[in-house]
Structures are given as C-alpha cells and as structure tokens.
Structure 1
C-alpha cells in the first residue's frame, strides 16, 4: 500500500513491536498471555564464577522482572552515591560494582549527614538484627616464592580457575572479619586408596585438582560439580583409589553406566574412551582427540 510505504520509514522498529504487542493483547488475549509467560520463563541471573579475570573480577549478567531490575538499579545507585559522599574517588562504574557487593553481604552505608557537613565512613548491616551475612570462600592457592618475597605482579594459581594476582589475594585477606584456615599442600602424585565404596574428601579433592572438568570427551562441566566415578565399577572389582577414580558430570556418568560407553586410564589425568559404535577418543587436560582406527 502506497500510504503505508509513505510513513513506514518514519516508524522505529521498537514502535512497530509495541504496536504489534498492543494489538495481540487487545484481539488475542490468550496468545498475549502465552507470550507473557514465555518472557517470564526467560528470567535468569548468571554469575560467571568459572571465568575469573587476572585482577579477581567476575562478569555478571541476567534478565530480571522490570520492577526487580528498577529496584536493584535504584539501590545500587543510592549506595554508589553514599560511597562518593563518604570520600570515595572511584568512578561511578566501580562504585556501582562495589555497591552490589555491599548488597550481597546484607550491608548498607552509614548515614551521611550533609546538613552538619560531616559523614561517617564504613558499612553497617541493613537487617534489623544488625548482623552481617558471613560468607565462606575456599581458595586453593599455589604460590611461587617470587610472589611472596619479590614480584608483586606474580600470579597465584587457583584450581580450576584462571590465575589471579598476589595483590588481589592480599586485598581479600585484608577484608574485615576474614578468617584464614591453612590446609596442607595436596600431593597430586600421592596414591589415595580406601577399602569402602564412598570416595573420601581427600580423593575427591585430588580428582578435582588433577582433572578440573568432567573427563567425558569434550565436556567442560567443572569437576567440583561432578560425580566421582569408579573407572572400573566397584561391583566388578574396581578399587576406590586414585588410579580408578575420575570426575564425571551426572549425565555422562549415567551414559557410562547405562549407555555402553567405557573408558580406561592411560595415566593420571589421561583417559581413553570407547563409544558403543566402536569409536575411540583420548581425553586429557588439553582436550579431546579422536583416535583413528587403523585398517586391517
């Protein structure tokens, strides 16, 4: 239609979408309700803990209800403004990020008295019980002596994570109410063996530090969120020990148990998988590689 073509270029895509949504709500309420539910099902909040940066930062992304998002934005803006009033010289983006952490710990800024020309610095609990939320973090540190005694830019390895700076660790340890519990160094070459079926904590920890991920071909689920499998089943004589244990995510654990997949340990952290269709895959810390069958 010439009349539509005449004005179409003047209407934005967002306006067209809004008009369509309005029309659906007016003339097809059942479809409108279905679309609303689909949009609600898309709500999520992802904290990408598996991708920590060298500086100790983690990306956060998500989709919230509009009112929840607006309330969260307002609370973060208020706490960021309070930090500036208390003397912070950080940028707005940094103060907003810090404010999100304050909210996560159930803390609020101390009152700022602009009329009296003074303010108090610090944080206070926002709950009526006046108690902060206690957060426990377990960090596996592998520190080179250069990081302890010399180079402040030396990195500290974390099991299953990207490296972080020694200076970042110092900041974490310097936070108020921090409690540090030191554990002995875990020898990954040590052979752990127990008589029972259940994997002990020291064997689970050793598996997680050696393999980092589910050991099924191409799987990337972190080992700490996996089951711990007997490579040779326990009921077929397989021992519960370092040379017969590996992390498998729940789905691939079931596939190995019920789906006719099997695997062998070539070396600690290196596995040879056999599929039901006679395909073979080599899996180690570098990834997965198909093993070509040789023709007779």
Structure 2
C-alpha cells in the first residue's frame, strides 16, 4: 500500500471515529433533553404536598363513594422525603410516549423527580449534557430512602464526579449519609440484618431463549441464603437423592442430578422434620401430585400449516409454523415458551394430573346476557388478547380485568357481554380508562379498527387525554397513524 492510499484510509477511519463521537454526544444531549422534559411533565402534575404528608385522593367528592375515589387519579410518592407528590394518571402519557410499560415510566418519573428536587446539582449536570442520564438515575435510585438532608449531602459530594462515580462508590456515600442524618434507622436496619435469609426461585425467566446458546431454556435459577443447619440438612438430602437417581439408571452428570434431586425432594416430602405437631408426631410423608394445565390453541394454521386469521407465525429460518412449541399461560406462573417435548416429559410421570382445556375457536363469537362473562367467553377473550390491551402494557390477560368497551347498561339490549365487546385491561389501566385525569378532565378511550377505512383488522386504536393515538393488536403496540415511508 503506497503512502497516498494509507493517507486516504487513515482519513476515512478518522471520519468514522469523528462520526461516532459526534453522534454519541448528540444522543447524550437528546436523552438528557428528553429526561428533563419528563421532569417538566411531572412538575406540571404535582401537588403542594411533599413526600411524608398525607396523600390526597383526586376526584369529585360530592357524589362518588370513598372506594370510587380511591380508584380515580391519586397522588403518588415517587421521590424521597421532601419531593412533591405526582398525579398517578400522568404517568400513562409518559409510558405511551416512550413506548414502555407503566412500571418503567413510573420509575423514570420517580428518578426525574428525585433528581430535580433532592439532587439539584447532579440534575443540572445531566441537563447540561455533562453526565449520562443512566448515571444520574443510578444515583437517584440509591438516595430515595435518605432524609432530605442526607440526599443533599450526597448531592454536594457526588455532583462533581457524577460522570465517573461507580455504583459501589455511590452506595458507600449513601451509607455514610444515612448514618450521619438518620442514625436510628441505620441501627435498626443493622439489627435486622440477621434476618436476611431467603430463598428465591426466578420464575420470571422460565422459557426464554438462552442468549449464549440461542436455545429454549425451560429452566429457572434458584438462589438463597439459609441457616447453616438447614443448609447442611438440604445438602445431605440432595446428595442422597442424586445418588439414588444413579441407582435408578439416570446417566446425567452430577450437577444435573442435583437439580433434579431438589425437584424430587419437593415432591416426595420425605425429609426429617423437626417441627412440633399437635399430636406429637409428624404426619406420614405424602408424595405431591404434579398438575399441568395445558391451554391448547388450535386453529387452521396448526392443521394446514397456512396462516389465516389468528395463528402462529411462520419462522423465517425454519419455514415452519412453530406448532411444536408450547406457551405457558397460567395465572401465578411465568409466561414463556417451552418445547412440546419438555411438556411431554412433565406429563409422563404417573404422579402428574393433566387437565385438558377445551379448544377455543377464535373465529366464532359468543354473547350472553348479564354483566359477568362465563368462563368460556372469558377464556376466548384472553386467548385472543394474551396481554392487557393498553398501549405498551405487557401484563398477562390471565390476571387482567375484562372491560366492557361499550359500558354495560342494565336497561340496554341483550348480548352486551360478548367476545367483541370485552377486552382485558390490567387493574391500573382499567382505572385509567374508567376515570378521568384531574388536569385535562379527559379519559383514555379506545375503539376497534375498521378495515373498510383502511385500518388493519383485529386491532384497537387508543386515544390519550392529550389526543395521542396508538394502535394495539395481539402482537403489541404500533405508531398510529403509521409513519410515512419514503
């Protein structure tokens, strides 16, 4: 390569790095501006009360019952002591505008309020684009439980290094602030540290794809802190059952057998107990029967391998419809996808009770008289809409309320409770749809799409109190109207 070519290549490389630097800076400035705007929005929906004062319930008091008042817009404590309280329903607009869940938006608004009112120096550096938003939010989340004076102490000491302070450094400063300004609470928490034993079963991760292997896991992580005596008993029992599995012909390695052994321990209940019973003797150990509830969704795609109406999508890599997968969708359990073979393994045990739910035809619509839907209509609606239908909400419809889109009228026509008039809304978003916001005096509303007007079928269009619109279908939330393509 001659000198001219090397110079050209070096110039091109420099231009690329300059572009990375410039766009990174622009992204930081834009993110900071968006974060400040969230804080401005929250400030416009605050009360004169601050965290620590009695919280006011918003709404009309002259006609509604107390329970109805509690269901309406309310002030929430999102920041630490001394920060103003924020109207709950205003968070819904933030969630929809950012395309995130209500819980994520609530955390964002809480961090913005914490920084604006209790960590003003750090907030000023974020607004100037000198500190990444994520670093400022990390500090805000650490100071939330401090007194107002303690938060100010952290703000003064960390502001000038907020752009490079590590999490442990911030945590140590927070601990010092708590000890300085709230010594009674610090001592009480230290005394309670001995009660930190726990056992956590990470059910929320079951069925998701392993990022390293790209395969379906079908497993969960378990971790905890036990009393030493309990841990020794558990270790002896797990080791004993793992050896038994070898004797019964299991050829898995030791780690796998130990994980299987813990499940066997749970089902057998054959450990030695030191609990005291009324009769003086523990009951005879019994083997717990495993119950598997299968929601079998069968449509034309599963039979013919073609896509019509509601049905599984064809995988672009395999060319199949994915009907060899099972979807976990049971209240109280995590949602996710597992292979049909794993379900067969679960059901193969003679100690498993299998309940088969009836097939639901999503192309058939039913209606009944009366306000409360029967089980078959409720199941139909929840299968059609697997999540809360509010924009960007990801909560399972299995635990959601069923909302009458057109309000139920006791004196109205028959058939108002139908599969076409019921939609799942989680309790929070059901409240936001039912009750109006204090500031705007308006509610969230939604309607089914009309394909005759060029709108996509089997979808809903939501309108927020400020007039923003969002399209929701069984696959999620989409911009509406759709952005123009060039």
Q: What corresponds to 1:98 in structure 2?
A: 260
1:126-141 aligned at under 5 Å gives the runs 128-141=283-296
Report the 3-state secondary structure (helix = DSSP H, G, I; strand = E; otherwise coil) of the residue aligned with 2:449: strand
Q: Contact 1:43–1:64 at 8 Å: present in 2 too?
A: yes
Higher strand share: 1
Partner Cα separation in structure 2 for residue 42 and residue 293 of structure 1: 51
Please give the per-residue CA displacement for 1:193-238, whole angstroms capped at 9, x wherever unaligned: 0100002111111112111111111111111111111112213859
Deviates more, 1:71-80 or 1:202-211: 71-80
1:9-158 aligned at under 5 Å gives the runs 31-35=186-190, 37=192, 45-48=200-203, 51-53=206-208, 57-61=218-222, 63-64=224-225, 70=231, 74=235, 75-108=237-270, 128-142=283-297, 144=302, 155-158=324-327
Deviates more, 1:203-212 or 1:178-187: 178-187
Please give the per-residue CA displacement for 1:8-37, whole angstroms capped at 9, x wherever unaligned: xxxxx9xxx9xx99xx8xxx6852322454
Partner Cα separation in structure 2 for residue 41 and residue 130 of structure 1: 30
Q: Contact 1:269–1:284 at 8 Å: present in 2 too?
A: yes
Q: What corresponds to 1:266 in structure 2?
A: 449
Partner Cα separation in structure 2 for residue 251 and residue 71 of structure 1: 44
Question: Given the two structures, how large is their TM-score scaled by the length of structure 1?
Answer: 0.68
Partner Cα separation in structure 2 for residue 142 and residue 169 of structure 1: 15
Q: Contact 2:372–2:417 at 8 Å: present in 1 too?
A: yes
Partner Cα separation in structure 1 for residue 471 and residue 190 of structure 2: 45
Please give the per-residue CA displacement for 1:93-147, whole angstroms capped at 9, x wherever unaligned: 21122122123324449xxxxxxxxxxxxxxxxx73242223322112357579x
Partner Cα separation in structure 2 for residue 281 and residue 145 of structure 1: 33
Q: Residues 290 and 65 from structure 1, CA distance in 2 versus in 1: closer, same or farther, beyond 3 angstroms?
A: farther
| Paired residues, number | 250
Report the 3-state secondary structure (helix = DSSP H, G, I; strand = E; otherwise coil) of the residue aligned with 1:235: coil
Are residue 185 (structure 1) and residue 185 (structure 2) matched? no
Q: What corresponds to 2:478 in structure 1?
A: 289
Q: What corresponds to 1:278 in structure 2?
A: 467
Partner Cα separation in structure 2 for residue 227 and residue 68 of structure 1: 45
Deviates more, 1:273-282 or 1:35-44: 35-44
Report the 3-state secondary structure (helix = DSSP H, G, I; strand = E; otherwise coil) of the residue aligned with 1:98: helix
Report the 3-state secondary structure (helix = DSSP H, G, I; strand = E; otherwise coil) of the residue aligned with 2:380: helix
Report the 3-state secondary structure (helix = DSSP H, G, I; strand = E; otherwise coil) of the residue aligned with 1:80: helix
Runs of 4+ in 1 over 4 A off after TM superposition: 35-44, 53-56, 61-69, 142-146, 159-163
User: How far did residue 184 of structure 1 move?
Assistant: 3.3
Q: Residues 62 and 252 from structure 1, CA distance in 2 versus in 1: closer, same or farther, beyond 3 angstroms?
A: farther
1:211-226 aligned at under 5 Å gives the runs 211-226=385-400
Partner Cα separation in structure 2 for residue 72 and residue 209 of structure 1: 44
- What is the Cα-based RMSD across aligned positions, in Å? 4.0
User: How far did residue 63 of structure 1 move?
Assistant: 4.5
Question: Given the two structures, how large is their TM-score scaled by the length of structure 2?
Answer: 0.44
Higher helix share: 2
Partner Cα separation in structure 2 for residue 37 and residue 64 of structure 1: 15
Q: Residues 62 and 218 from structure 1, CA distance in 2 versus in 1: closer, same or farther, beyond 3 angstroms?
A: farther
Partner Cα separation in structure 1 for residue 190 and residue 458 of structure 2: 47
Partner Cα separation in structure 2 for residue 239 and residue 50 of structure 1: 39
User: How far did residue 253 of structure 1 move?
Assistant: 1.0
Query: Unaligned regions of 5+ residues in structure 2, if any?
Result: 1-167, 209-214, 272-281, 305-319, 330-334, 437-442, 451-456
Q: Contact 1:49–1:58 at 8 Å: present in 2 too?
A: no
Q: Contact 2:405–2:421 at 8 Å: present in 1 too?
A: yes
Q: Contact 2:291–2:354 at 8 Å: present in 1 too?
A: no
